[in-house]
Amino acid sequence: MASEIEPQNTTRAKAYELWMKAPNPMVTFFKTMDVTNLVRLGKRKGLKFNMLLGFCIGKAASCVKEFYILPVGGKLIQYDSIAVNTIVKNKNGEVSSCDILFSDSLEIFSREYLKYTAEAAESCTDRDLSAESMVIGTSAIVDTEIDGAVGMNSGIFNNPFIIWGRYRKKLFRYYLPISFQFHHTQMDGAHAGRFLEKLQNEISSLK
């Protein structure tokens, strides 16, 4: 569920005043993740790497309260759930957008990921949960390795967004550079840094 809240009644009041109408309110962090555990787990259990990473993203974000507030259309919106978006290559060779509601059960999240991404690929129709959940955008550029990417800075699409390419092998470990973009009204750098640390911990500890 989503509802409008008064900025002055939140911890983001000052940030709302400073950044809501800023010409460039988006901030992008770059970080290299050790994804060895996800690669090995995926191969051992036959699970998709991007699904595992999406689950870890949702789990890390669910522990940071700032993720539940998002500036939308000049207003501050409070959510009680988080969804993770993924981009799906559909049957027409184009892409469709698919939102997956985060569940702290890997089994449930994996099942819904497989179900809804398959439906989006077949129907060529986007699955949009933004009216009810705070959606974390993701995009996997699997055709190449990238060092990072910067998304839109338009102030229209304010959702946090994570982009990555192919992971890299170095000796016996696997590493993945990612970029994390967020609206400064939603969170500060300290919150973003805390999220990235939690994300690495979730990746490393997932069983």
Q: What is the pLDDT of residue 154?
A: 64
- Map residue 134 onto helix, strand or coil: strand
For residue 150, pLDDT beyond 90? no
C-beta of residue 96 within 8 angstroms of C-beta of residue 125: yes
Spatial distance between the Cα atoms of 56 and 84, rounded to a whole number of angstroms: 10
Q: Residues 30-42: pLDDT tens digits?
A: 999 999 999 999 9
pLDDT band at 155 (very low <50, low <70, confident <90, very high): low
Average pLDDT over residues 126-132: 97
Task: Say if residue 182's pLDDT is above 80.
Answer: yes
Task: Report which of residues 150 and 78 the model is more confident about.
Answer: 78
pLDDT score at 204 = 98
* Average pLDDT, rounded, for the chain: 95
> How far, in Å, CA of 186 to CA of 76, rounded?
9
From the list 165, 157, 201, the residue with the least C-alpha distance to 30 is: 165
pTM of the model: 0.96
Provide the pLDDT for residue 23.
86
What's the pLDDT at 160? 97
Domains by residue range for the chain, with CATH = 27-205 (3.30.559.10)
